[in-house]
Amino acid sequence: MKTLSVKIPESLAEWLAGEARKSQRSRSDLVREALELKRRGGDGGGASGKPMSMAEAMADLRGSIRGPKDLSTNPEHLEGFGL
């Protein structure tokens, strides 16, 4: 294998070290996996390489919009949709 030295910000280095500890993998292994995923055209969906679901992609937006939790429970919101 070839060796590559990369300079990264302290905050990214701390995050990488934390991820390595949590996953019990080396930092090099995590970086190799991320580069390989990028090379294959992956979207960064996760360690498994599977694309994220819409719910996962929008997780940080949950609760940021006011309104009924489920519009399908109120016929008033279904007006014009065949009901």
- In angstroms, the CA 11 to CA 17 distance is 10
Extents of the domains making up the chain = 10-78
Per-residue confidence band for 51, with pLDDT thresholds at 50, 70 and 90: confident
Whether 12 and 18 have beta carbons less than 8 Å apart is answered as: no
pLDDT tens readout for residues 8-45: 999 999 999 999 999 999 999 999 989 988 888 765 55
Report pTM.
Answer: 0.50
pLDDT tens readout for residues 56-74: 777 777 777 777 677 677 7
**Rounded CA Rg of the chain:** 21
Please calculate the CA angle 27-46-19 and round it to the nearest 5 degrees: 30
Single-letter code of the amino acid located at 43: D
**CA quadruple 68, 71, 76, 80: dihedral positive or negative?**
positive
Task: Report the pLDDT value the prediction gives residue 13, as an integer from 0 to 100.
Answer: 94
Going by C-alpha positions, the residue among 37, 64, 39 that lies closest to residue 51 is: 37
